[in-house]
Chain A
Amino acid sequence: MQDYSWIIQNKELLKLIYSVIIILICFVIVLKTNRLFKLSLHQGIRYFRNAFFFYGIAFFLRYIVGSKLIFNSISSTQNYFIIGILFEFFLIMAGFFLLYSLIWRKIEGVGKKEDSSLINSKILLFYIMSFIISYLDFLWKAYFFMFLSQILIFVLASVISYLNYKNLGNKRLFLKFYFIAMLLSLTAWILNALLSLYFNWNQGVLINIYLINILIFGLFLYGVVKFTKRK
């Protein structure tokens, strides 16, 4: 009980530490994968990099710009809403990019490539869907559509990463960790939804979701650092 009150008392500080860890991880992943993309022009690497770029922006907006600790003066209710919508938009886009990095081959083919990975016809569809989802949540003053979209995205990503693991898992070590990361992401989003719908954002459970998220991002960081290391 004492631990729980400590969490409540220091929740803004904990959020700040949590976001800084995630943003730093995203920064390293974007930097390392961008180098690989520049060299290879591989579309999958490009979309994977974009996913973490958008995760980084989302966390920066929500927890740094929106933090009551740092920007107390601009954290009015109106600003908080705008930040909330932008956070949702970038977070949903990041999820789409991560999923798309796993399926782009089936859609674009291996020989063709788009000039821009941020502005093209397929990605435009993601922007529109993300905008609609964020706007609906804004109207409903809830996160229902975001949770629903993310749970669907990570169910699909879990199935695809499981198939990848099943097909090549004995040769490619990280496919197992990728599948675990997808399952953890799905778990985190389901917990988030339950927390919002039934537990009124219980801070004790929320901390556990933060820890799961750090573990997921940490897994990706481990993989990116390990497999981009020059011999």
Chain B
Amino acid sequence: MARKRERLEVIRDILNSIRNNREIKPTRLLYSSNLSPQMFKDYVDELIKKNFVVLETTPKGKKFFRLKKKGNDFLEEYKIIENFVENFGL
């Protein structure tokens, strides 16, 4: 059985999906995140609140997620964070 992903790993996966696609529709992001709709909503709401991602709407009313600078910074520093957490047993 696959182990449960850590919170940081889930965030990394969501942000990576957005970065790899540049822009991504909410439904596609939900599928790629492998989360339940409620869990997905919780994570995305938090990422929006913390300015990691933004949910934009086109003039035609289509919605998509885009990565913000803070989200990009997180991905750049993910290795440092992961290394720190594991080395200190946190």
Contact = CB atoms under 8 A, between A and B. Distances in A.
A117 B10 CA distance: 21
B81 A48 contact: no
Given A111-B39, A230-B80, A40 B88 contact: no
Contact of B88 (A110, A111, A174, A230): A174
Interface string B75-90: 0010111011111111
Interface in A132-177: 160-161, 164, 168, 171-175
Nearest to B12: A40
A174 to B, nearest CB: 4
B83 A227 contact: yes
Interface in B52-90: 70, 73-74, 77, 79-81, 83-90
Contact of B89 (A36, A110, A175): A175
Interface residues of B, number: 24
Interface in B37-58: 39, 46, 50
Contacts of A104: 90
B87 A45 contact: no
A40 B90 contact: no
A173 B87 contact: yes
A36 B81 contact: yes
Contacts of A230: 77, 80
A153 to B, nearest CB: 15
Interface string B1-45: 000101110110000000000000000000000000001000000
Interface residues on A, range: 20 to 34
Given A39-B77, A40-B74, A230-B77, A110 B6 contact: yes
Most buried by B among A39, A101, A160: A39
Contacts of B46: 41
A223 interface: yes
A102 B46 CA distance: 24
Interface of B: 4, 6-8, 10-11, 39, 46, 50, 70, 73-74, 77, 79-81, 83-90
12 contacts: A36-B84, A40-B74, A42-B90, A102-B89, A102-B90, A104-B90, A110-B4, A173-B87, A174-B87, A227-B87, A228-B80, A229-B80
Given A36-B80, A39-B73, A40-B11, 14 more contacts: A36-B84, A39-B77, A40-B8, A40-B74, A40-B77, A101-B88, A168-B86, A171-B86, A174-B87, A175-B89, A223-B87, A223-B88, A227-B87, A230-B80
